[in-house]
């Protein structure tokens, strides 16, 4: 474990990305303890930032800082949930395709290719418009339905190459078969690829979520960063020069995506270094 941590520390990009994401998560978790959420909807509307309202208020008199602190964990929740679901389903399918090969592989691979070719936003819009009331959990479920293909591809490719390794052959010759072989020989070696796929899945899920919310298909009764942006856009915050209303969600969303990019690029480098080291 400490070796892993040291390796992460050496990879500056990965460390920087993790720091950005963790501090955002902390802000979302600890913020409610510091900032009184009762401020929401209880003050005068359209106030520019001052000492009482550090980020001003919106047209409905909501304190923007309080709204931001409320929205942050919800957005991260959608991303993490959808990413986990996508990784779970996608990773399992990839493992099955790579391990079983043959017909199962053809079916899974073709399905992934076809679903990948359909623009996610199109299907998401269709589903989201037909759902009666949208919630954060529902959102994660819908987005996850289109986030499993990339993990499937990545895990399948790695399983295919892993199962040809000599230690897998040794294990098989020793009479270890089926599920036990997958659990003891394949899964531990796939762990880093699962981690990398997870970051990609979260990033894709988050992108789809924010896009849907910007179109007005997000959870109407819950506050997420995308919904904050939607309302700001809906009430013309940019055109009215109310920068304190739209800059915080824009900055938070940008920071999340740049953090995810840094983590994924750093992880890639780490994996490549491992591959070079092993080979």
Alpha carbons 32 and 24: distance in angstroms, whole number: 13
Q: Report CA Rg, the chain.
A: 22
Site for another protein in 82-121 (CB under 8 A): 110, 113-114, 117-121
Alpha carbons 188 and 171: distance in angstroms, whole number: 14
Question: Of the two residues 170 and 254, which places its CB atom closer to another protein in the complex?
Answer: 254
* Residue from 3, 34, 44, 130 binding another protein (CB under 8 A): 130
> What does the DSSP 8-state code read for residue 43?
S
* Residue from 126, 173, 179, 191 binding another protein (CB under 8 A): 126
Nearest Cα residue to 62 out of 99, 37, 91: 37
Neighbour-count burial for 143-173, b at 16+ CB within 10 Å, e otherwise: bbbbbbbbbbbbbbebbeebbeeeebeebee
* Residue from 210, 223, 227, 270 binding another protein (CB under 8 A): 210
Please choose, out of 84-92, 101-109, 127-135, 194-202, the segment that lies near another protein by the rule CB under 8 A: 127-135
* Residue from 211, 235, 269, 271 binding another protein (CB under 8 A): 211
> What residues form DSSP beta bridges with 63?
57
Question: Of the two residues 110 and 184, which places its CB atom closer to another protein in the complex?
Answer: 110
Q: Is 22 in the site for another protein (CB under 8 A)?
A: no
Q: What 3-state DSSP class applies to 63?
A: strand
* Residue from 16, 27, 125, 195 binding another protein (CB under 8 A): 125
Residues that bind another protein (CB under 8 A): 110, 113-114, 117-123, 125-127, 129-132, 203, 207, 210-211, 214-217, 229, 233, 238-239, 241, 243, 246, 250, 253-254, 257-258, 260-261
């Amino acid at each position: 474990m400490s070796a892993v941590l040291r390796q992460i520390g050496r990879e500056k990009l990965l460390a920087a990305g993790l720091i950005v994401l963790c501090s955002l998560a902390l802000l979302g978790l600890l913020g409610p303890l510091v900032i009184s959420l009762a401020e929401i909807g209880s003050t005068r509307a359209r106030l520019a930032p001052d000492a009482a309202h550090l980020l001003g208020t919106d047209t409905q008199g909501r304190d923007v800082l309080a709204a931001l602190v409320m929205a942050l964990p919800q957005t991260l929740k959608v991303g993490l949930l959808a990413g986990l679901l996508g990784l779970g389903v996608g990773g399992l399918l990839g493992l099955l395709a790579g391990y079983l090969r043959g017909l199962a592989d053809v079916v899974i691979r073709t399905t992934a290719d076809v679903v990948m070719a359909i623009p996610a936003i199109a299907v998401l819009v269709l589903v989201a418009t037909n759902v009666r009331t949208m919630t954060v959990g529902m959102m994660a479920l819908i987005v996850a339905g289109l986030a499993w293909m990339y993990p499937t591809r990545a895990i399948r490719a790695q399983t295919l190459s892993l199962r040809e390794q000599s230690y897998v052959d040794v294990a098989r010759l020793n009479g270890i078969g089926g599920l036990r072989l997958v659990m003891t020989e394949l899964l531990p070696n796939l762990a880093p690829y699962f981690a990398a796929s997870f970051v990609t899945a979260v990033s894709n899920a988050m992108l789809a979520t924010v896009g849907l919310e910007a179109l007005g298909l997000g959870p109407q009764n819950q506050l997420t960063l995308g919904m904050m942006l939607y309302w700001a856009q809906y009430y013309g915050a940019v055109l009215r020069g109310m920068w304190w209303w739209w800059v915080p969600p824009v900055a938070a969303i940008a920071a999340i995506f740049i953090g995810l990019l840094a983590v994924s690029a750093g992880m890639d480098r780490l994996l490549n270094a491992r591959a070079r080291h092993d080979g």
